[in-house]
Amino acid sequence: MKFRDGMWMVAEGMRVEYAEEVYDITETDKGLSLLCPSRKIRSRGDTLNTSTLTIDLEAPHDGIISVETTHWAGAARKGPHFDLFPGGQPKFEPKVLKGDKGTTLSSGSLSATVSSEEHNFGIQFHSSDGSKVLTSLASRSVGLAYNPAPSNPLQTGDMRDFKHYIFTQTNLGVGESVHGLGERFGAFNKVGQSISLWNADGGTSSDQAYKNVSFWLSSRGYGIFIDTPGRVELEIGSERCCRAQTSVEGQRLKWYIIYGPTPKEVLYRYSILTGRPNKVPSWSYGLWLTTSFTTNYDEATVNSFLEGMKERDTQVDVFHYDCFWMKGFRWTDFVFDSEKFPDPKAQIARLKSSGLVSKVCVWINPYIAQHGAAFKEAAEKGYLVKRKNGDIWQWDLWQAGMGLVDFTNPEAVTWYTDCLNELFDKGVDCIKTDFGERVPTLDVEWFDKEIDPHKMHNFYAFLYNKIVYEALQKRYGDEEAVLFARAACAGTQRFPLVWGGDCESTPEAMAESVRGGLGLGLCGFSFWSNDIGGFEGYPAPWIYKRWVAFGLLCSHSRLHGSSSYRVPWTIDGDDRSNEGCSRTLSRWTALKTRLMPYLIAQGSRAVEQGVPLSLRATCLEFPEDPTAWYLDRQFMIGESLLAAPIFDEAGEVEFYLPKGRWTCFFTNRVREGPGWFRERHGFGSLPLYVRENTLLVLGKPGIRGAVYDYAADVEVCLYQVKEGASADLLDSSGKALGTLKIAADGSALEGAEFLKGEWTKSNDGRKMEDESPSKTIEWL
């Protein structure tokens, strides 16, 4: 939403009024309240026929200041509202000081100073110690706008034909970059982009996003969280090159500035404000498999796929039944297709007892087709969203006559939960919560009459995933619940995990997925996945194999397609060679299995810090490196591993290593950063480098399946370690066992009493038990 036509003119059809000065400052219990008229007040007469903007600055927590701008305070505060400080808000006392430069509100490490200059408007946000200026609200940076522009103030007595906006413009410093705002598939740095935060089912190759998160992270050591689930329009250096503009339709705009100074500290404070991710069970890190979206799920087909995987030395931990576990035209009615599942409980039990898979997942969505068994009951009892005339809201997009579950109705929530429990009774362990983006805003009325339909559009994803996640927690335990969700908004990180949506089977789409995962991770989502091989289309063997390498280094890994299978032998005619799809999948699945002691420990730490496990943007670990803020073709896996996916059939790849010594995982050869490097790889490797001063615990070679004893028969690998280097040890339930640590002499290992069996220690990288990948790596 642009309000100006260049620097000098207002955009056509707009009337814009700015906060021109801070006329009055009132100290409140929580901070400061600023009265800001839209003209400079030089005489008493100037106070007449003039709009004002009230700016409330509050300090709810150390390092966090909220900024709420209001035009007409009488506007109703309709919900839904984000669930802030879900873990409880700590008591905090802000400080207000008056000095020569202005009035300062301090929130621990972060302060906001309101300029004392007469007839001036200015608010500077800075570290409380004065060492760093973060951003500011300068002249003509806060305002209101009408569209169309009223020609007479009397016209605003009837606002039905006008749209009213509030906007703020925070300053962008020279060289500052902006990241996040959800799972966005375009350029990693958002400066220069116009972005609309509005959930949509748009695939991974447009400016639309399934997961719009109203939070962005700056390279200058702060973040901005916009506290509204409604549509937010951002012009990030795209209306004024030196400013990031945020606008909403309405009478209020509230956002929080969050100080680090490091990006990890920003995300930690953001997680206190909006919620930390929960832990995920160890089995969820393993390989997930489905026979694909439109394909069959009869027992013979499922068994043949799982037996084929086992024969080719790949263990599947979770089998997923996508849409057609229910009959067509009946989604979602929670009823297994009786032709494919004559006895679903027994069929699922046989599947698990066979040892081919340990857990089962099924697909659902919140849309109830009128031909399904669930529709009649939901309609009669008022569990579906209605039109304003009392009819049930329906359309034929996606499912014929589908309605939408009204999660603002407590009885509808109970009914939906009962439907889920029937699935759990049949042996279902986890749920794929698909869709949730197509939520109507026009001609709808929710059960809760205090709901604003426009705010519910994005927020629906939070309610939907929360209800399903809590049902899983109640059945299986707080840390055994796991989702596979597509839609999200701020706060949904509390209900892991999510996947990247419908991508094409191309290298470009794989790169889009990387950018999406990086951006979402910078919004506090610890766990993320994507459809290996691409969802749409038929991947060429080389794309499939490159994607397998990338996908098995994500926190979670799933083989899933649309109308074609993703089991490896269907991709390349069952090439059984070392470079074939089957062997490639087996090798990368085995590598992830070996990494499980590291992944489970790093996953626990990621949850505590509110940061991503994988994909973790390089800038989170190396914020002082300017190059790290522009890297969108590589990622960190936890704190110590760096991976660079390959998007080229020939295997050539260019990547960047920050300052320090880095060891190639596959060869133990060492590179010195910072710098750009080029390599060529076969399908069994990619640039996977271990950071110096790393103590890496690897599971025993040959183990199949993600769940095993992570302290038994392990290999403890030392990479240029110094005194104090450490690694946490967790068991397969996520319980902490202890910490391994390098002693003062730089070589002795403390904490070895926590290890079991025939464990080994490798002092210069890991033991090379499989030399074949290293033979295909060329340094260019």
Instruction: Please report the DSSP string for 467-509 in residue order.
Output: HHHHHHHHHH-TTT--B-B--B-TTGGGS--EE----BSSHHH
What confidence score (pLDDT) does residue 106 get?
97
For residue 651, tell me if it sits in a domain.
Answer: yes
pLDDT of 274 strictly over 80:
yes
H helix or E strand, kind and range, residue 417: helix 410-425
Average pLDDT over residues 664-681: 97
Strands (E), 82-175: 95-99, 102-107, 110-115, 123-127, 133-137, 142-147, 163-171
Residue 539: asked if its preceding bond is cis (omega within 30°), the reply is no
Find out whether 646 and 549 touch, Cβ atoms under 8 Å: yes
- Is 437 marked active-site? yes
User: Residue holding tokens 């496990």?
Assistant: 613
Beta bridge partners of 616: 636
Average pLDDT over residues 711-728: 95
> With 0-12 CB in 10 A as exposed, 13-18 as middle and 19+ as buried, what is 500?
buried
**Cα dist. 519→190, 285, 302, 514, 632 in Å?**
10, 21, 35, 9, 9
Residue 19 is part of a domain; what is its CATH number? 2.60.40.1760
For residue 102, tell me if it sits in a domain.
Answer: yes
User: Does the global pTM surpass 0.85?
Assistant: yes
Q: Which domain holds residue 659?
A: 618-779
pLDDT of 287 strictly over 90:
yes
**Cα dist. 528→295, 378, 555 in Å?**
25, 33, 6
Find out whether 580 and 567 touch, Cβ atoms under 8 Å: no
Residue-by-residue DSSP string for 667-693 = T--EEEEEEEEEEE--TT---EEEESS
**Cα dist. 214→79, 307, 338, 454 in Å?**
16, 44, 43, 15
353 three-state secondary structure: helix
Average pLDDT over residues 530-553: 97
Calpha distance 717→595 (Å, rounded): 12
Which percentage of the chain shows pLDDT scores above 70? 100
Predicted confidence band at 773 (pLDDT cuts at 50, 70, 90)? confident
Give the model confidence (pLDDT) of 145-188 as tens digits. 999 999 999 999 999 999 999 999 999 999 999 999 999 999 99
Tally of domains within the chain: 2
Find out whether 55 and 34 touch, Cβ atoms under 8 Å: yes
pLDDT of 771 strictly over 80:
no
For residue 558, tell me if it sits in a domain.
Answer: no
- Is 502 marked active-site? yes
Q: Which of 56, 434, 512, 536 is catalytic?
A: 434
Average pLDDT over residues 82-100: 93
Beta bridge partners of 55: 34, 69
Alpha helices in 45-177 (DSSP H): none
Calpha distance 631→515 (Å, rounded): 9
Calpha distance 561→699 (Å, rounded): 30
- Name, in order, each residue with C-beta under 8 angstroms of 353's C-beta and a sequence gap of 6 or more: none
Find out whether 743 and 641 touch, Cβ atoms under 8 Å: no
For residue 513, tell me if it sits in a domain.
Answer: no
For residue 53, tell me if it sits in a domain.
Answer: yes
Predicted confidence band at 661 (pLDDT cuts at 50, 70, 90)? very high
Amino acid of residue 348: I
Q: Which of 156, 171, 186 is where one domain is finished?
A: 171
Find out whether 593 and 706 touch, Cβ atoms under 8 Å: yes
H helix or E strand, kind and range, residue 318: strand 318-321
Predicted confidence band at 774 (pLDDT cuts at 50, 70, 90)? confident
Calpha distance 673→676 (Å, rounded): 8
Q: Which of 152, 171, 190 is where one domain is finished?
A: 171
How confident is the prediction for the chain on average, in pLDDT?
96
Q: Which of 136, 151, 171 is where one domain is finished?
A: 171
Q: Which of 502, 621, 632, 728 is catalytic?
A: 502
For residue 760, tell me if it sits in a domain.
Answer: yes
261 three-state secondary structure: coil
Residue 636 is part of a domain; what is its CATH number? 2.60.40.1180
H helix or E strand, kind and range, residue 660: strand 652-664
**Cα dist. 84→225, 228, 256, 483, 637 in Å?**
11, 11, 11, 22, 29
Average pLDDT over residues 516-538: 97
For residue 388, tell me if it sits in a domain.
Answer: no
Q: Which of 21, 317, 437, 639 is catalytic?
A: 437
Give the sheet arrangement for strand 178-182, strand by strand: 24-27, 31-37, 52-61, 64-70, 252-259, 222-226, 212-218, 178-182
CA-wise closest residue to 765 among 711, 690, 713, 702: 690
Calpha distance 521→523 (Å, rounded): 5
**Cα dist. 78→82, 230, 456, 623 in Å?**
12, 11, 10, 39
pLDDT of 90 strictly over 90:
no
Residue 68, token pair as written in the block? 């709420």
What confidence score (pLDDT) does residue 44 get?
94
- Name, in order, each residue with C-beta under 8 angstroms of 299's C-beta and a sequence gap of 6 or more: 340, 347, 350, 351
pLDDT of 772 strictly over 80:
no
What confidence score (pLDDT) does residue 769 get?
78
